[in-house]
Amino acid sequence: MKFIEYTITSDLLCMGERIKKGQFRPTVATIPYSQISGALKAVFGYKDIHAVGYFPFNNEQEFRGKHTQILTYSPRDRAINTSILPLYIEYLTDVEGKVFIAETDSIKNKLESNESISIYMGAFKSKGFGSCALKDRRKISEEDLYIREGTLNTRIPIVKAKDMNGMDGNSYKGLIDEGKTTEFLKDNFCIEKVIKARYGYLFEPTSKTSGCYILSLFEGSVVKGPGFLLRDTDRGDGNE
């Protein structure tokens, strides 16, 4: 499997984790599969696109301190001409990260050019958030994957919704609980085994109006996979 690496930059980015009581929308500090793959599909059409990314930092709190801001926004109900509830939106400013796109047949030709790609990602696009530029294209060949153990830097689903049709999804989770990997993780991201799984759910649209949440590996999971998806992990034996 080959990958294409881009540098992603954005002035304002809100990749909302969820909405609490309709009032709070924190942002994540990585670039999940669902966000970047969705944004690329919006540009290139509904193709077989698998991408992930992250913002490089050593200390998340420091990164958040430097790059996150809170916007208080009050949507106006035009019918009654009042703003009812303020929303607290956490967003990232002036961020630069890395995006890795699996070089599948359906996307290969579209990514031949060295020109930068403009995408819109995350929430509040209509309010001016989410404009991103992908530039500095670089190919990662199979020899450059440097498969090793480390801590995952991003969020990836363990399987796609369509692959679960008619099958017991627990068998996929079972594989991971045994320290193995799933076909999806292996084929698209060269993850050979999952040593410690930190789970969460990522949204996957199943039609234009509907979708479901898929069990996913979140940042902090320990896997054996390509070096570019990982940050160093403490082995706990006093050895760096």
Partner 1 sequence: MSDDLVPEMHDIGKLVDWRIIKKTISEELKIDDLKQVHSHSFVLWNTTADQKVDYLKDVFGVDEPESDTWKVINYHHVDNLPEKLEEPLKKDVDVFLIRLADGMASAISRAMTKQEKKEIEELVKGYEKRSVYKLWHPEKIQDLNIISIGGFPEVVNFIHGNPTGDEFLEDDKKYKQLLLARPEEFMRSIDITSLYTHSKLVGKFYRFFEGRIRAEAPDRISFGGNIANSPENAESQWKVKLIKCSVKLTQNPVRGSDLNVFEKLKEIMCEVSEIDNVLFNSSTEFLAILPLYEDVESIIKPFLDGGFYLEVEEAHTKVGNIYPTPKSIKEREYKDLQERIKKINSNNNMPLERKEELKREKEDEFQRKFPVKIIYSKLNPMIDIPICEVCQMAKGDKEWPKDYVLGKLCADCKERVIEDEWPFNADKLCKTCLKHIRMLFEEFLTENLCENCFETRSMGHRLPKIMRWSYSEDNPKVAWVKISIDIDKLVEVLKILYLQYLEDLKIPDPEKYTDMRLSVFSEFQWDYNKFLSNIIGNGFKEALISGLNCDNKFIKGFGDKDVQAILDDFFCIKIDKTSDVNKILKIYNNLFTKEYFPKFKDLESPIKLSISCSNIKFAFFWHWKFLENPQNDVNVNLVGKGEMHLNMGQLDEILNLDMRQFGTHSLHKLSEVSKVSKKLSKVLLYDKGDWRLYREYDGLRSLLEGGIDFPNILTYAKIMSDQERGVK
The contact set with partner 1 (CB under 8 A) reads: 17-24, 26, 59, 61, 65, 70, 85, 88, 158-159, 161, 164, 169-170, 172-173, 195-201, 210-215, 222, 236-239
| Residue (39 or 89) nearer to partner 1, CB | 89
Beta carbon of residue 60, minimum distance to partner 1 (angstroms, whole number): 8
In angstroms, the CA 160 to CA 167 distance is: 12
Whole-number minimum distance, CB 196 to partner 1, in Å?
A: 5
Whole-angstrom distance, CA of residue 178 vs CA of residue 199 = 15
Q: Which is nearer to partner 1, 15 or 107 (CB)?
A: 15
CB of 67 to partner 1, least distance (A): 14
Which CB atom, from 128 or from 236, has the smaller least distance to partner 1?
Answer: 236
Rounded least distance, CB 76 to partner 1, Å: 17
Residue closer to partner 1, measured from CB, 3 or 181:
181
Q: Toward partner 1, which CB reaches closer, 146 or 199?
A: 199
Q: What is the 3-state secondary structure (H, E, C) of the chain?
A: CCEEEEEEEEEEECCECCCECCCEECECCEECHHHHHHHHHHHHCCCCCCEEEECCCCCHHHHHHHHEEEEEECCEECCCCEECCCEEEEEEEEEEEEEEEECCHHHHHHHCCCCCEEEECCCCHHHCCCEEEEEEEEEECHHHCCCEEEEECCCEECCCHHHHCCCCCHHHHHHHHCCCCCHHHHHHHCCCEEEECCEEEEEEECCCCCEEEEEEECCCCEEEECHHHEECCCCCCCCC
* Nearest to partner 1 of 65, 128 (CB atom): 65
